[in-house]
Amino acid sequence: MRVIVDKDYQTLSRRAALFLAGEIIRKPDTVLGLATGSTPVGTYQQLVKLHQERMADFSEVTTFNLDEYYGVSPDNQCSYAWFMDHHLFGHVNVQRNNIHIPNGLTQDVELECRNYEDKIQQAGGIEVQLLGIGRNGHIGFNEPSSEFAAHTSLVELDQGTIEANSRFFDSRDQVPRQAISMGIKSIMKARRILLLANGSEKAEAIYNTLCGPITPQCPASVLQLHPDVTIMVDKEAGKDLPREC
Ligand code: F6R
């Protein structure tokens, strides 16, 4: 795994955006796996800027988002569909039918999950998967104890995740308890992975991801088994990392 420690969130976000823009230049019809949450907001801002400067053309890019809250409509401002529109898709020239986000309102979850996996395969697989990380080491919504062999499925959110994500809702009670999430196996199939983390509250998860045992108790630790992972952190998130793990 390559680890880059940047001085601050701004620098990290710029570096991550350049990494993704570089991928789009290398392969204009690339398939990107995308994440939501606070962490990638700066990266998306920088990508929009690069697009405006004509350095990132999304016209042939296909995207698959990691997850969506179950039971939440894409029009709801708390949905990840809305988030993506607001932070990225609404500002770049990605084609609407190349955007994929699990349908949180599906009547048939199993079918939705199977179809999502099939669509990723039909698109040729994910070239670069962007990830954030939960304080408990989750990636996507694969919480501690998730099976490493899991594909896209309906998952239960951890109490800590509900707590952490309540900042996006009016109250804790409004945070959905379930989500449709790509599984660890779906994530591991991506050819390249870019994981971002900022802030000291992520330091322990980053330490465990890089230096801890490979265990479902820290889902992100599975990335130690992936052949092409880049981890970009700011100083705070990287503060517990030794020179060598
Ligand atoms: C989001 C996702 C989650 C977040 C993680 C960190 O699509 O899959 O794994 O990346 O919860 O969230 P933030 O960035 O808000 O700290």
pLDDT, position 245: 74
Of all helices (H) and strands (E), which one includes residue 115? helix 109-122
Domain 9-212 class in CATH: alpha beta
pLDDT band at 243; cut points 50, 70, 90: confident
- The pLDDT value recorded for residue 10 is 98
Distance CA 80, CA 5 (A): 28
Cα 166 to ligand 1 centre (Å): 12
67 alpha carbon – ligand 1 mean position (Å): 10
Domain boundaries, the chain: 9-212
> CA–CA separation, 71 vs 107, rounded Å?
10
Position in ligand 1 atom list of the atom nearest CA 140: 8
Label residue 244 left, alpha or beta by phi (over 0 means left) and psi (-120 to 50 means alpha).
Answer: beta
Q: Which residues are catalytic?
A: 67, 136, 138, 143
Residue-wise pLDDT for 146-204, tens only, equals: 999 999 999 999 999 999 999 999 999 999 999 999 999 999 999 999 999 999 999 99
Rounded to 10°, the helix 9-26/41-52 angle is: 50
